[in-house]
A and B are shown apart, each in its own frame.
Chain A
Amino acid sequence: MLQINIASSIPLSDSQKKKLEGSLQKKYQKEELQFNYQIKEELIAGLSLSVGGKLYDASLRARLSQLASKI
């Protein structure tokens, strides 16, 4: 089973979760997925998703730190 960890700054609504899970299931078609939800206020806004050793960080915190490193 593939573990997918989803962190968001505020709790996600059921419909948001469903949408997210649906699109992820499409991406990892053959695999069985398990979704773990977590609240991380330090993300400020948005969410981050980690699969295996990879992190896809779409939080505001990541944006800001990218911006800071570009200046």
Chain B
Amino acid sequence: MIIHHPLLGPRDSAEFIYLGDASLMERPDPKAENAQELFYKYLYLRDNPAGEHKELWYHEQGDRSWLILTRNTVTHEITHVELARRSK
């Protein structure tokens, strides 16, 4: 797979480390009433869709930036790439 890095252009996916669903960016509030329940869901439960998936990739052997890819988990087609820090 080729990942089109927003700053560095086309890069081999082997340069990256995969973390998982991009919703991991939204860490629950540890002070919330139901923090235990929220963290259980955050840590363990996943949508795991067949089709479009927003996910976190870390450019370890490159500029060490975190990217958010929109990738199809059936075809591996990547339709969108953005820097994670810009996504907010």
Is B a genuine binding partner of A? Answer: no
List A residues at the B interface (Cβ < 8 Å). none
List B residues at the A interface (Cβ < 8 Å). none
